[in-house]
Amino acid sequence: MAEENNSQKREEFKKKHKRIPNKNYAVKKRLPLRPVDGENVIFITKKTNFKAQLEKCCDLLTKGEKEIILHGLGAAIQRCCNLALQLEILFSGTCQLEVNTGTVDLVDDLEPLIDDLDFGTQVRHTSSVHIRVFRSAMLGANQ
| Residue 89 in contact with another protein, rule: CB under 8 A | no
| Residue 118 in contact with another protein, rule: CB under 8 A | yes
Q: Fill in the DSSP letter of residue 136.
A: S
Binding mask 57-76 for another protein (x = CB under 8 A): --------------------
* Closer residue to another protein (CB): 89 or 123: 123
Report how far apart, in Å, the C-alpha atoms of 74 and of each of 14, 78, 103, 104 are.
19, 9, 9, 9
Q: Residue 81: which residues within 8 A CB-CB, separation 6 or more?
A: 72, 99, 129, 131
Find the part of the chain contacting another protein (CB under 8 A) among 33-41, 54-62, 78-86, 91-99: 33-41
| Residue 36 in contact with another protein, rule: CB under 8 A | yes
DSSP 39-58: TTEEEE-SSS-HHHHHHHHH
| Residue 47 in contact with another protein, rule: CB under 8 A | yes
CA distance 143 to 62: 8
Query: Can you give the binding site for another protein, defined by CB under 8 A?
Result: 28-37, 47, 105, 107, 109, 111-119, 121, 123
